[in-house]
Amino acid sequence: MWGIIFLLPALIVFCLFLWTPIFKGVIYSFMQVDFVRGNEFIGLNNYREVFANSALLISIRNTLYYMLLCVLIGFWVPSVVAMAISELRRFQGGMRLIVYLPHIVPAVVLYGMWQWLYDPLGPANQIASWLGNHQFMWLTDKSIAMLSIVIAETWQAFGGTTLIYLAGIVGIPKDLYEAAEIDGAGVLQRIRHITIPGIRHIYVLMFIMQLIGTSQGFMTHMALTGGGPNNATLTYMYQIINEAFTNLNYGRASAMGVLMFLVLTSLSMVLYYFQGRSKEA
């Protein structure tokens, strides 16, 4: 009973700020929401309007492309950095602090910094000119705008995930590394045969978390490009934000949110199923 009593405040906050908005979102998805004259039940009209919206396919395609770039570029960086830090004999504490610094800096400062870096006359183009390449329009060129966002977000987010991988590496028995060194195994051999198998379960968990997190990405897109150029960085979540807070159509935004919730829940169940099968094997 005492355990339940101590858990109650956290459970109340959890239900109030997470599950209550979810339930209200489901209800609003069937409503014409008007906070002045009152809500009106309209059935599936919001869902019909969502599927009839020409920007829907654009936002879905951009979101999938964004998720793919994040997996190809950002997913591997934290684990590689964590393995490199774990192999250091000295200065591990200092390196952990350095990789975590982007999490400490406020997001507004980070976005301002990246806008300065990506400026046509900024440092990124200066480096490109030194390497003999022409200047890039990082945030206004449709072909590289999404890539520019992924690079910025990878730098901003890899520190926290690196610490998670480091915690997993610390949990691997040291005897395995000592035995490998005695047998003459090098750094790459230790990483391949000990470290990677030892943190395989973290890879699966981080992959699931990254898919869920990137599918809901919109903050960097809103801050750096505003969904442009020509909707090239308009993600599904950013479209929901526009529907709710620009068009003030909370019913349609709620319907889009419910659809995302169903897709992500199904995706998580499938991934956890395969994770369970992998553990059994």
In the chain, the domains with their CATH numbers are 55-279 (1.10.3720.10)
Q: Which amino acid is at 56?
A: L
Beta-carbon count within 10 A of 126 CB: 12
| pLDDT digit string, tens, across residues 106-150 | 888 888 999 999 988 889 888 888 877 777 889 988 989 999 999
Q: Do 169 and 78 meet the contact criterion of CB atoms below 8 Å apart?
A: no
- Cα–Cα distances in angstroms (integers) from residue 9 to residues 13, 107, 154, in the given order: 6, 30, 35
| pLDDT digit string, tens, across residues 250-271 | 999 999 999 998 988 888 788 7
Q: Do 55 and 234 meet the contact criterion of CB atoms below 8 Å apart?
A: yes
| Average confidence (pLDDT) over 153-167 | 89
Nearest to 250 by CA among 16, 26, 17: 26
| pLDDT digit string, tens, across residues 207-224 | 888 888 898 889 999 999
pTM of the model: 0.85
**Helix H or strand E encompassing 254:** helix 250-280
Take residue 104 and report the two structure tokens written for it.
């400490």
The residues pairing with 31 across neighbouring beta strands, listed in sequence order, are 41
Q: What is the pLDDT of residue 228?
A: 87
For the chain, give the mean pLDDT: 88
Take residue 178 and report the two structure tokens written for it.
């000592």
Q: What is the DSSP letter of 41?
A: E
First to last CA, the chain: 39
